[in-house]
Chain A
Amino acid sequence: MTTQENNANIYDSLAVGEQLAHLEYIVTPELLEEYREVVGYTEAYYPHIAAKEYIEVIKRKHVGVLPVISAKHKDEYYAPPPVGKRIQVTGWVKDKYERRGRNWLVVETFAVDEDGREIVRSEHSFLMGGVK
């Protein structure tokens, strides 16, 4: 199966409102430090920006290569993730549509820490497949 076919299969199988895979991870001091160094900002507090949770929640449910091109990202910030605490992320398909013959997907994720404290709500729109 080609990557394009795999992409099309995943897109076709996704339903608006469908709950995607659950994620859990811990922001360690080392990873936060590396993220801050990479983005060049010593007070960066939201390393999820690099984590691309919106792709991972799909990949873990619909296994396969998922080349996409990001179109838009939206975050609503509640509180920075506490270092050392487990972060739990749920995701779902918010929307899918075809435009000019290309498939577009919108995924929403919501992260809380292990105490149930809200961290961030994200929405990401992307094009399935390439620009050609």
Chain B
Amino acid sequence: MIDIQNLHVEVDGKEILKGVNLSIRSGETHAIMGENGSGKTSLGLAISGHPRYKVTSGDILFDGRSILGLNVSDRARLGMFLSMQNPPEIEGLRTGKFLSESRKSLSKDFNIISFQKEMRERVFEFGLEENVLNRSLNLGLSGGEKKKSEMLQLALLKPKFAIFDEIDSGLDIDSLKNVSFKINNFMSGDKSCLLITHYKRILEHVKPDFIHVLLDGKIVQSGGYELAEQIEAQGYSLLK
């Protein structure tokens, strides 16, 4: 579904990704591990199309077609979703309103009444307060609650491919299990996802098909789950 070919990305004039190669097929779960500064978050933002991350060479193909010419909302409409590490708080923008508008832009058949019903159901399912739909988007939410909010969006906006940027940071064991459960639910059928993480914790619950280690802007090693165990035991230095 997603093909990243020799991707070089620059931000603020500095090269942060130096030739990344990665292929994710439908139904696959991939994980990217790496230290801080390795370029993990940059990879997620570059794939989503953040304007500050400039692709200097290489390509990104989605379902066989290059998406470099598409902006972030176009890519979202193709079925991409980025769950951010620090989702912004937007005062004055009602969460419910935001979700409706997004869904409206993403799907051809949109019925406000049925969507509102769906929203309420999900809110209940996720164990969030009912009035969260009336509150400003992400305003005043803790780190863990913001992650829940992102998962709520995932469930309501139904993308094909999701990138999770450090979804496990700041979560206690119960929330972690909860979030992992939701991700596994999402991964039914031919969806695919990319988990960006520093630790192996979440990978115990969301079993990846492939793990890649990013170091200094390049993927230096790929493997199965045992790679994560190796890193846990010996740290990233063994790969340097």
Whether A associates with B in a native complex is no
